[in-house]
Amino acid sequence: MADAEGNKIAKEYHLDTPVAANGFYVKGMNHTGWGMKNRFSKLFNPKTGNTVMLAFDHGYIMGATAGLERLDLAIDPLVEQVDVLMGTRGALRSCINPITNKGICLRATHDSSVLFDDMSTGVGFGLDMEDALRMNADCIAMQCFVGGAGEARSLEVLCRAVDAGEKYGVPVMAVTAVGKEMARTNQYFMLATRMLAELGAHTIKTYYCEGFEKIVAACPVPIVIAGGKKVPELDALEMAYRGISDGARGVDMGRNIFQSESPIGMATAIGKIVHEQYTAKEAYELFLDIKNSVSKD
Question: Do residues 254 and 55 make contact, with C-beta atoms less than 8 angstroms apart?
Answer: yes
Three-state SS for 179-226 is: CCCCCCCHHHHHHHHHHHHHCCCCEEEECCCCCHHHHHHHCCCCEEEE
175 binds ligand R5P (CB under 6 A): yes
Question: Do residues 87 and 57 make contact, with C-beta atoms less than 8 angstroms apart?
Answer: yes
Task: Tell me which stretch binds ligand R5P (CB under 6 A): 7-15, 29-37, 53-61, 288-296.
Answer: 53-61
226 binds ligand R5P (CB under 6 A): yes
Q: Which phi and psi angles does 225 have, rounded to 5°?
A: -95, 145
54 binds ligand R5P (CB under 6 A): no
Nearest approach in angstroms of CB 226 to ligand R5P is 5
57 binds ligand R5P (CB under 6 A): yes
Give the chain's length: 297
Could you give the CA distance from residue 196 to residue 146 in angstroms, rounded to a whole number?
9
Is 230 catalytic? The answer is no
Task: Tell me which stretch binds ligand R5P (CB under 6 A): 18-26, 113-121, 127-135, 225-233.
Answer: 225-233
Nearest approach in angstroms of CB 15 to ligand R5P is 51
Instruction: By CB under 6 A, name the one of 150, 222, 227, 265 that touches ligand R5P.
Output: 227
First to last CA, the chain: 64
- The C-alpha angle with vertex 77 and arms to 71 and 80, in degrees rounded to 5, equals 120
202 binds ligand R5P (CB under 6 A): no
Q: Which of 47, 102, 180, 205 is catalytic?
A: 205
The binding site for ligand R5P (CB under 6 A) comprises 55, 57-58, 175, 177, 226-228, 252-256
Active site residues: 205
